[in-house]
A and B are shown apart, each in its own frame.
Chain A
Amino acid sequence: GDSVTQTEGLVTLTEGLPVMLNCTYQTIYSNPFLFWYVQHLNESPRLLLKSFTDNKRTEHQGFHATLHKSSSSFHLQKSSAQLSDSALYYCALYAYKVIFGKGTHLHVLP
Chain B
Amino acid sequence: AQTIHQWPVAEIKAVGSPLSLGCTIKGKSSPNLYWYWQATGGTLQQLFYSITVGQVESVVQLNLSASRPKDDQFILSTEKLLLSHSGFYLCAWGSGTGDEQYFGPGTRLTVL
Please report A residues at the B interface, Cβ cutoff 8 Å: 33, 35, 37, 39, 44-47, 50, 52, 88, 90, 92, 94, 97-100, 102-103
Contacts and interface: CB of A to CB of B under 8 A. Distances in A.
A33 B103 contact: no
Contacts of B105: 44
Interface of B: 34, 43-44, 46, 49, 90, 94, 97-106
A37 B34 CA distance: 15
A44 B46 contact: no
12 contacts: A33-B97, A35-B101, A44-B106, A45-B90, A47-B100, A47-B102, A50-B100, A52-B97, A94-B99, A97-B49, A98-B46, A98-B49
A45 B103 contact: yes
Contacts, number: 46
B103 A44 contact: yes
Contacts of B46: 98-100
Contacts of A37: 101
Contact of B98 (A45, A50, A100): A50
Nearest to B101: A98
B100 A35 contact: yes
Contacts of A50: 98, 100
Majority-rule SS of B interface residues:
strand
B101 A92 contact: yes
Nearest to A47: B100
Contacts of A97: 49, 99
Given A33-B97, A52-B98, A94-B98, A46 B103 contact: yes
Contact of B34 (A44, A88, A98, A103): A98
A94 B90 CA distance: 19
A53 to B, nearest CB: 12
A99 B98 CA distance: 11
